A and B are shown apart, each in its own frame.
Chain A
Amino acid sequence: MIDTKKDFPIFKNNPNLIYLDNAATTQKPSSVLDAERDFYENHYSNVHRGVYQLSQEATELYENARESIAEFLNASPEEIIFTRNATESINLVANILPVSKNDKIVSTLMNHHSNFVPWQLLSQKTKAKIEYLSLSESAELDVEDFNKLKNATVFAFTHASNATGVITPAKQLIEQAKDAGALTVIDAAQSAPHLPIDVKKLDCDFLALSGHKMLGPTGIGVLYGKKELLQELPPFLTGGDMIREVTIQETTWNDLPYKYEAGTPNISGAIGLAEAVRYLQRIGFDELLAHERDLTSYAHKILPNYVDVYGPAPSKKLGILSFNVQGVHAHDVASILDSKNIAIRSGHHCTQPLLNALGLTSTCRASFYVYNNKREVQSFVDALELSHKTLVK
């Protein structure tokens, strides 16, 4: 069993907190907080600007963070663009791709709204066709539907569902999309905190992730893009740092990755995220996933029979439990759990097309991470029993 609670100050300051909303955001270890504090207290200044010592130190820390992320994803540093979060990363891609009315975008009903709405809008704006891969009863992508990838020019899908934890067959999907000649955009916001990611092995064109879901700070995200694509595509936001030369007649763009980082970036966020990645690497992703699956299997095993769980068996998903207590609204379950200091999510999880496909409007979601343990899972199940006892008519 992994025991890491002591590394997270929030649990020292809230000793009774049982935090099971890790698919929404994760708590921060001291090492991440220390890295940010050290930057502000000892090395703070802007990056890529000043020639003075402090600015060089800040630039070095920021670029070292980029190198750490590049190594983590098996990319090269110029392919790593720092953004605010996965949402911004995906919107960036949707705004620079040369899509027109003869194109066909393929998305999926599993996608988070952040990887759903940008493509819906792009299709409306360009009159490009859009199709969606539908879901099976176990909330997995429907294999029968993979032939929709035929003639696709853009394929945007999710590596792991934030609502159910389902892990998609990313490699196979990308291969099929490539055969059709499509560009592939993969939302790894939910997978990167739990699974090792290798963009070379996946051979995806773009990949997005959010720092705050993987022990990093809020306001920092990553877009990976293949170098040869990013070189050819136009910029998204324009302004400082992404410029090579500006005249009244025209402007030329900076080299990668700076071409896509307009304005002063979230320097401390990038430094914090790199530290979060080091923390996860020290634990090891095999160990981490085994720990989460252990907790999820245990939860599946001890859940009362009046709890409906959505999605496949624990071995086919991340440590996420999407469920409803029969006869009790998800919000009421979450409020009763809150009265026992247990934090879970309730609602549509920004995945309304997914829930609609399953015939649901809202679910409860408990999601496990590195600091959770079996005792907490037991308390969680006990509180579910309380919600059933209190509210079933």
Chain B
Amino acid sequence: MDLYGELILEHYKHPLNKGVLKKPTYSRREANPVCGDVVTIQLLVEKNVVKDVKFEGEGCALSIASASILTDFIKGKTVKEIKSLTDEALVEMLGISVGAVRIKCVLLPLKAIKNALG
């Protein structure tokens, strides 16, 4: 059962950066067409650097863990660095091997962040 290893379960059960920002620079809501799940990402960007980020939404373990790990990773990174982050790099961070359907759950937060940054 390689999808639900320690890392994924830890981030799913105790997600980082869950909540809302008071004055976000960018906010983006993204829906997963497969299940109708929705994630909202809020970013505080100063001088092209992500100072803070929060996410909200109900979802499966993969999308929550992905949002938790990804939001933690992008804090302090430049907008350019984040925009160049590939799908493969995110999957590698999660340390899982994921099929064509569930990959959409994993990538949903990244899609929201990239679309938020325009």
Contact = CB atoms under 8 A, between A and B. Distances in A.
Contacts of A362: 35-37
B15 to A, nearest CB: 10
A361 B34 CA distance: 10
Contacts of B102: 331, 335
B62 A352 contact: no
Contacts of B90: none
Interface residues of B, number: 17
Interface of B: 1, 3-4, 9, 12-13, 34-37, 58-62, 102, 105
Contacts, number: 50
30 contacts: A329-B35, A329-B37, A329-B58, A329-B59, A329-B61, A330-B35, A331-B34, A331-B62, A331-B105, A335-B4, A336-B1, A336-B3, A336-B4, A339-B3, A346-B35, A347-B34, A347-B36, A348-B35, A348-B36, A355-B36, A361-B35, A361-B36, A362-B35, A362-B36, A362-B37, A390-B4, A390-B9, A391-B4, A391-B9, A393-B13
B21 to A, nearest CB: 24
A382 interface: no
A331 B105 CA distance: 9
* 4 smallest beta-carbon distances between A and B, as pairs: A329-B60, A331-B60, A339-B1, A361-B36
A347 B1 contact: no
A332 interface: yes
Nearest to A390: B4
Interface string A365-390: 00000000000000000000000001
A168 B4 CA distance: 40
A147 to B, nearest CB: 31
Contacts of B62: 331-332, 335
B61 A332 contact: yes
Given A329-B60, A329-B61, A390-B9, A347 B35 contact: yes
Nearest to A340: B1
Contacts of B61: 329, 332, 391
B12 A335 contact: no
Contacts of A332: 4, 60-62
A352 B61 CA distance: 22
Given A331-B60, A348-B36, A362-B37, 20 more contacts: A329-B37, A331-B35, A331-B62, A331-B105, A332-B60, A335-B62, A335-B102, A336-B1, A336-B4, A339-B3, A346-B35, A348-B35, A355-B36, A361-B36, A362-B36, A390-B4, A390-B9, A391-B12, A391-B61, A393-B12
A348 B37 CA distance: 10
A347 B34 CA distance: 6
